[in-house]
Amino acid sequence: MAFLTKKKIALAIGLLVIGGATAAYYSKSKTPVVETPRFRTAAVDTGNITQTVTATGTINPVALINIGSQVSGTVSELKADFNDRVTKGQVLLKLDPTIFNAQIRQADAQLSSAKASLRLAQATYQRNQSLLAQNYLSPLALDQAKREVDVAQANIQLSQAQLARAQADFDNSVIRSPIDGVIIKRTVDLGQTVAASFTTPQLFQIARDLTKMQIDTSVSEADVGSLKEGQEARFVVDAYPDKEFNARMRQFRLAANVVQNVVTYNVVLDVDNKDELLKPGMTAQVRLLVGNRQNVLRVPTAALRFRLSDEEIEKQKKQAAAGKAGSASASASASASAATAADAPQDDDASFRSKADLARSFRIYKLDAKNQPQATDVKIGLSNFRYTEVVGGDLKQGDKVITRAIVNGQEGGM
């Protein structure tokens, strides 16, 4: 009796073990298998897109005057220095006037001599006229006397011109400011000799008004088509990395600059510098606002650059050949052919389509209902480094587009 009881207990324990194993097997078989994601995706949404043109430029005063000297001499007085605010007509420096005063006295003496010669020539001419009337002098002698009068008058004019030039040189030895402004550069010191024999030496550089500045920048030829006068811009400088400044495009200059076959154009922007935080010569990183769209359908710009890898194409081919993908077969075939295709769809009439249409058409990939990549063609509008406007195609809000591939748990290339 005890033997039968032990046998029943062992049988019951065996049934419990078998039942537990069976339950564990079915429970494990019903646990869903989570597939490792193969792509990084982003949802198509609606929002605003701003397109900008970036450039690097230099901040300069609107009016920058170089002050030079027309005469040579030694600096005897220096009355202005760096950062001084000057007014129009204010004396900046004086050259030693010794030589200029001597030239003035010399020219004045020559003028006095010429006047004395004229008085003598006129008196001689008058006496010769009387002698000719009494037949004591020939007409030729009278003509010669008249010539002496004319020469004396010409010498007076020459002496007057020399005196005026000597006076002008003396006046030019005093350097004055031609405008109201601020001295931002000085290249001369007290006692230095200024030589103006061949070229005009630059003594000072004056900015008219530092509260009004401009940015001189160069823009690539690829971006000039979207530029217009009056466009808004924002820029930053290294001196104030946490502050953005406003600017406005004033002028697009037609003269092209070509450096190593790279063509750029000069663009000038106006800057309000009422706080005088910006200094001449600073480097500005400029963003010109060239386009703005409100509440449009958009995709991440990275989705336009993504292409399926060769391994993914082979995988889709095998799935299609084994008949496991069903309707995904057509999608895999389209993806395989699109991997080596250009951004623009290759249609039979591609050669007859405009270059603008081809340039604005792209092939991107979205996930279908079975999380398989599916190629779709879209036409884009405004674009920046984050988002691109979708103006045509089969995309709708909420679709998941592929931006990157995930390989071995890490994001791969595009």
Report the chain's mean pLDDT, rounded to a whole number. Answer: 83
Tokens of 86: 């000057």
* Tens-place pLDDT, residues 103-161: 999 999 999 999 999 999 999 988 888 888 888 888 888 889 899 999 999 999 999 99
Of residues 413 and 325, which shows the higher confidence score? 413
* Tens-place pLDDT, residues 218-276: 999 988 988 999 999 999 999 999 999 999 999 999 999 999 999 999 999 999 999 99
User: What CA dihedral angle connects 274, 278, 280 and 284, to 10 degrees?
Assistant: -130
Range 40-62 average pLDDT: 91
> At 390, which amino acid appears?
V
Three-point CA angle 395, 352, 290, nearest 5°: 55
3-state DSSP call for residue 272? strand
* Cα gap 193→170, rounded to integer Å: 16
| Fold assignment, 52-62+207-293 | Elongation Factor Tu (Ef-tu); domain 3 (2.40.30)
* Cα gap 271→362, rounded to integer Å: 39
Q: What pLDDT does residue 337 have?
A: 41
* Cα gap 213→204, rounded to integer Å: 19
Domain ranges, ordered by start, for the chain: 39-49+297-411, 52-62+207-293, 69-96+173-196, 99-170
202-207 β-sheet, strand order: 64-68, 202-207, 181-186, 85-86
| Fold assignment, 99-170 | Helix Hairpins (1.10.287)
For residue 283, list its beta bridge partners: 58
- Domain 39-49+297-411 class in CATH: mainly beta
- Does residue 28 register a pLDDT over 70? no
The length of the chain in residues reads 414
Q: What pLDDT does residue 113 have?
A: 94
Highest-scoring range by mean pLDDT, 26-35, 187-196, 309-318: 187-196
Range 175-183 average pLDDT: 94
State how far Cα 166 lies from the chain centre. 49
Are residues 359 and 20 in contact, defined by beta-carbon separation less than 8 angstroms? no
Q: What pLDDT does residue 11 have?
A: 63
Q: Which CATH architecture has domain 69-96+173-196?
A: Beta Barrel (2.40)
Radius of gyration, CA atoms only, the chain: 45
* Tens-place pLDDT, residues 300-354: 998 888 888 777 777 777 777 766 544 444 444 444 444 433 444 444 454 445 5
